[in-house]
Amino acid sequence: MPQCHICSNTITPFMTFGQMPIANGFLSEKNTATEYFFELEVAHCPKCNAVQLPHQPEKEKMFHTEYPFFSGTSKSMQTHFADFADSVNTEYLAKLHDPFVIEIGCNDGILIKNFLNLGYRHLGIDPSANVADVARSKGVDVITSFFDITEAARIIKSHGQADLFLAANVMCHLSNINSVVEGIQRLLKPTGILVFEEPYLGEVIETTAYDQLYDEHVFLFSAHSVKFLFEQFEMELIDIAPQPTHGGSMRYTVAHKGQHSVTQTVTQQLQKETLLGLCEPSTYKKFKESCEKSRDQLVSLLESIAKRGETVAGYAATSKSTTVLNYCGIGSSLVSYICDTTPIKHSRLSPGMHIPVRPDHEFHDDYPDYALLFAYNHKNEIFQKEKAFSKQGGRWILYVPEVITL
């Protein structure tokens, strides 16, 4: 039986999405025969309440020199991270002398570059060499490595302890979370704080956003599981704040126990989660049923469009789209191609279902009848950019929170 990555309790999967490829494993034709698949099962731990993948592919299969996800591709994310840096700076750093900021999973530097611009001492850590190089090209100091307790000891020796430790959409990637948290606990000064944000479990459950479950997302966190996780290391959750990113995220602020006051937001969120049923196994049974219903509705919509001889293109080859396409069994007979702005994904095939990925000018040159929006988290930005598509009669298909056409 698998064990919880946080508390070692025995866990039983409440559902499986079936065989899945690496979500960001966009591949060329010649590599399709050797493509890697694993069983995407999901479990809820009744002890610490973390929702998690009991089995995750080896991390080197996901994060490497050809990692195709660059955080900076969206304008709204640039603004979000600039505001994130600004608020943390105003609240915690501005009053300190010569603060030191660390970010794990800094990707292309979208968040940490804001602290570089403030003239602060900083250090980014990212295991994917290609994205780390982009951060370096912006002047960010980056170590190419996976963060854990050993790396933490090395950084303490070379740089000293940090005032602020950051992670955005990273903590949920780390199955060795206890080693990471122990590393953070040692690296943070006694008065230091950790601020991290992640797609939020409550939002996933409420909106049936099952596409947040893929190889990289080994956890879907909540206030309950984050509280439990850090209490194991004499740390405490001191603030929690919802964020609009990734379709609904949560920002958690954590400190050494007793060093900072705990805001009311923590108790309020814990109460909300109890009411929402996030600690109840029955909630996850219902979630599984909602996923199956959503899958059946999307497939039958796409089949009826195909029967009418109309065309559908996928819009944005997101990591999330890999779960949707493979779980629903949607191939190129239903979605002829996926347009995306990321050059490294062009001329490749989508993981598992092998739908061609194309530059977005192909979408503009010859509009399909329908666009299936995989980047619904960037809906406002994309609808604004693609007004002409709707104007000439193009329809959008969305599947979160419900399967609808617009």
Q: Which does 4 bind (CB under 5 to 8 A by kind): ligand TMP, Zn ion, none?
A: Zn ion
Q: Which does 7 bind (CB under 5 to 8 A by kind): ligand TMP, Zn ion, none?
A: Zn ion
The smaller minimum CB distance to ligand TMP, of residues 286 and 385, is found at: 385
How far apart are CB 199 and ligand TMP at their closest, in Å? 10
Q: Let me know the angle formed at the C-alpha of 63 by 336 and 221, rounded to the nearest 5 degrees.
A: 90
Q: According to CB under 6 A, which residues from 129 to 158 bind ligand TMP?
A: none
Residue 384, token pair as written in the block:
């604004």
- Binding of Zn ion at residue 181 (CB under 5 A)? no
How far apart are CB 219 and Zn ion at their closest, in Å? 10
Q: Give the C-alpha distances (Å, rounded to integers) separating 151 from 145, 156, 157.
A: 8, 9, 10
- One-letter identity of residue 378: H
CB of 324 closer than 8 Å to CB of 351: no
Q: According to CB under 6 A, which residues from 338 to 357 bind ligand TMP?
A: 340-342
Nearest in space to 292 (alpha carbons), one of 327, 334, 319:
327
How far apart are CB 317 and Zn ion at their closest, in Å? 33
Q: Which does 45 bind (CB under 5 to 8 A by kind): Zn ion, ligand TMP, none?
A: Zn ion
Q: Which does 373 bind (CB under 5 to 8 A by kind): ligand TMP, Zn ion, none?
A: none
Q: Give the C-alpha distances (Å, rounded to integers) separating 172 from 168, 197, 216.
A: 9, 9, 8
Alpha helices for 94-216 (secondary structure H): 113-117, 129-137, 149-159, 177-187, 201-207
CB of 270 closer than 8 Å to CB of 229: no
Give the count of residues interacting with Zn ion (CB under 5 A).
7
The smaller minimum CB distance to ligand TMP, of residues 81 and 120, is found at: 81
- Binding of Zn ion at residue 27 (CB under 5 A)? no
Which one of residues 52, 89, 114, 318 is an interface residue with ligand TMP (CB under 6 A)? Answer: 318
How far apart are CB 50 and Zn ion at their closest, in Å? 5
Q: How far apart are CA 110 and CA 116, in angstroms?
A: 11
Q: Which does 47 bind (CB under 5 to 8 A by kind): ligand TMP, Zn ion, none?
A: Zn ion
DSSP state of 93: I
Q: According to CB under 5 A, which residues from 48 to 107 bind Zn ion?
A: 48
CB of 105 closer than 8 Å to CB of 143: no
Q: Which does 131 bind (CB under 5 to 8 A by kind): ligand TMP, Zn ion, none?
A: none
Residues belonging to the chain: 406
- Binding of Zn ion at residue 201 (CB under 5 A)? no
Q: How far apart are CA 36 and CA 145, in angstroms?
A: 23
Cβ-based neighbours of 241, under 8 Å, separated by 6 or more: 250, 251, 253, 265
How far apart are CB 350 and Zn ion at their closest, in Å? 33
E strand or H helix that includes residue 122: strand 121-126
- Binding of Zn ion at residue 47 (CB under 5 A)? yes
Residue 49, token pair as written in the block:
């309440």
Q: How far apart are CA 98 and CA 121, in angstroms?
A: 7
Q: How far apart are CA 25 and CA 68, in angstroms?
A: 8
- Binding of ligand TMP at residue 362 (CB under 6 A)? no
Q: Taking CB under 6 A as the rule, which mask of x and - marks residues 271-310 in contact with ligand TMP?
A: ----------------------------------------
How far apart are CB 403 and ligand TMP at their closest, in Å? 19
The site for ligand TMP (CB under 6 A) is made up of 73-74, 316-319, 340-342, 360, 375, 377-378, 381-382, 385
The site for Zn ion (CB under 5 A) is made up of 4, 6-7, 9, 45, 47-48
